[in-house]
Amino acid sequence: MNCIIIDDEATARVITAKLCSNIPNLHIVEEFSNAIEAIKYLNQNEVDLIFSDIHMPDFTGFDFIETLKNPPAVILTTSDSNLALNAFEYDCIVDYLVKPIELPRLEKAIRKVESLKSNTSSQPVLDTTLENHLYINIDRRLIKIDIPSICLVEAKGDYINLKTETEDYRVHSSLKKIEDKLPANLFLKVHRSYIINLKKIIDIEDNSVLIKKDVIPVSRANRPELMNRLNLL
């Protein structure tokens, strides 16, 4: 597997590369001290795996991932053990390694990547959108969902709660993955954990909206876009 390393600390890059040299099927093709240079490289080249730090100048590791249209597998390497839950929001993140990284732990992470790649031909949990519908996998059953009937989607760890006008579904997927499948003219991400159907808003007060009986928080960063999208008198 061709890999790149992104870390603003030179020593950390050396250590990660040295550990990777012990795994025969890993090939480090480039190293970067910042995410911007890595993005430029990925615009022209494809890799199988990215090792990325989280806390870096200008771009965090999560910011970096969000710039990638079709991200490869990502293993986060960080000294911060407090952001592991955030990683569940991204399908491409395969593992979360806390520095100092030890070889057995790295080998375990690589086995996860290899397992993921070997299963790419299997049925995805959240299937593709077809016209005004999408299909979700519940207990090995594909259920057809009318997209306009979706009221809101809430992230819950490595699951999402998808609430329609009549039913609630718990789906093994990420908020980002379903966001890519919902029409932008109808849906808006108002908080890192919530996407809402703008037509289902009943009331807006301060930094929250009411949809059905759910009070949904609206982040300060997303409130201007929400207000801009509403048909205000």
Arithmetic mean of pLDDT over the chain:
87
pLDDT score at 185: 80
- Residue 124 reports pLDDT greater than 70: no
Q: How many CB atoms lie within 10 A of CB 187?
A: 22
Kindly report whether the peptide bond that precedes residue 71 is cis, defined as omega within 30 degrees of 0.
no
- Dig out the tokens for 67 from the structure: 């710039």
pLDDT value at 130 more than 80: no
Question: Which pTM does this prediction carry?
Answer: 0.54
Angle between the N-to-C axes of helices 103-118 and 10-20, in degrees from 0 to 180, rounded to the nearest 10 = 70
**Domains of the chain, earliest start first:** 2-118 (3.40.50.2300), 133-229 (2.40.50.1020)
What tokens does 211 get?
């949809």
Residue 224: is its pLDDT beyond 70?
yes
Which pLDDT belongs to residue 194? 96
- Do residues 145 and 135 make contact, with C-beta atoms less than 8 angstroms apart? yes
- Cβ neighbours, 10 Å, residue 169: 16
Give every CB contact of residue 77 below 8 A, 6+ residues apart in sequence: 7, 12, 16, 51, 52, 53, 97, 99, 101
Going by C-alpha positions, the residue among 123, 126, 71 that lies closest to residue 94 is 71
pLDDT in tens, 107-123: 989 998 888 777 654 44
pLDDT of residue 227: 84
What per-residue confidence (pLDDT) applies to 217? 95
pLDDT at 119: 61
Greatest alpha-carbon pair distance for the chain in Å reads: 65
Alpha carbon 156 to chain centroid, angstroms: 13
Confidence of residue 129 (pLDDT cuts 50, 70, 90): very low
Element (H, E) at 151: strand 150-156
13 pLDDT higher than 60: yes
Q: Quickly state the pLDDT bin for 125 (edges 50, 70, 90).
A: very low
CA distances from 199 to 146, 207, 209, 228, 230 (A): 14, 18, 12, 14, 9
* Average pLDDT for 72-81: 91
Label the pairing between strands 187-191 and 194-197. antiparallel
DSSP element (H, E) containing 75: strand 73-78
Share of the chain above pLDDT 90, in %: 52
User: What is the distance between the alpha carbons of residues 196 and 191, in angstroms, rounded to a whole number?
Assistant: 9
Report yes or no: 119 and 188 within 8 Å, Cβ to Cβ. Answer: no
pLDDT at 52: 96
